[in-house]
Amino acid sequence: MFITLEGVDGAGKSSHLGWLETWFKARGRRVRMTREPGGTPVGEKLRELVLHEAMHAETEALIMFAARREHIEQVIRPALADGEVVISDRFTDASFAYQCGGRGLPEARLAELENWVHADLQPDITLLFDLAPEIAALRMATTRAPDRFEREKSDFHNRVRAAYLRRAEQFPGRIRVIDGSCELDQVRRQLATVLESLA
């Protein structure tokens, strides 16, 4: 099973990664936790570039998919073939949200990259943590130094959120929207409901 977590920066998805891992392990499943950009030695180097170096929006998109190609071949496919549950902090929905929604690249261009890099691979389920960007920004204000995406103005993050919600409407069977504004235990109840529906 391939599960991805998505949402604007600060929506809370990372807070639930450990809980998700524990949920599956308690049911006897082996779990591979990973992230994008990153997940491999090459991917982690590309992550540093894309999070901290200024670049053209198309360059940014190409780097994301280059890192993703390594990630799929080195981590995701082998783990799935070995029967593991793969849980990834972000995947291709993030590219459509950030590079198309945020940066304004044409969706058709990223769809070509998606088809090239992983035409036959999609997550079984995507958990989209939805939260107003202004609330997300307040949550992140004291956590760490912001990266290049997190420093973008509120309009950027509003476009990212809107793009995520459009993806959820486009793929309602795969993308499940989680209300990230709830208290922690309420969010986890939402997650448990989704996960139990997969059994």
Based on the structure, what is the number of domains in the chain? 1
CA–CA gap between residue 178 and residue 169 (Å, rounded): 14
pTM strictly above 0.85: yes
**What single DSSP character describes residue 150?**
T
Give the per-residue pLDDT at 29: 97
Residue 94 has pLDDT above 90, yes or no: yes
Model pLDDT, residue 142: 66
Per-residue pLDDT tens over the stretch 105-163: 999 999 999 999 999 999 999 999 999 988 887 777 766 678 899 889 889 999 999 99
Judge whether residue 199 has pLDDT over 70: no
What does the pLDDT average to over 64-90? 98
Starting at the edge strand that comes first in sequence, how are the strands of the sheet with 2-7 ordered? 31-35, 85-89, 2-7, 125-130, 175-179
Question: Which residue range is the domain that position 9 belongs to?
Answer: 2-198
Domain CATH for 69 = 3.40.50.300
Query: pLDDT tens digits for 3-52?
Result: 999 999 888 888 899 999 999 999 999 999 999 999 999 999 999 999 99
The identity of residue 138, as a single letter, is: L
Query: Is residue 32 within 8 Å of residue 79, measured between CB atoms?
Result: yes
How far apart CA 161 and CA 166 sit, in angstroms, is 9
Residue 134 is predicted with a pLDDT of 87
Residue 35 Cα to chain centre, angstroms:
8
Question: Looking at residue 34, what is its pLDDT?
Answer: 98
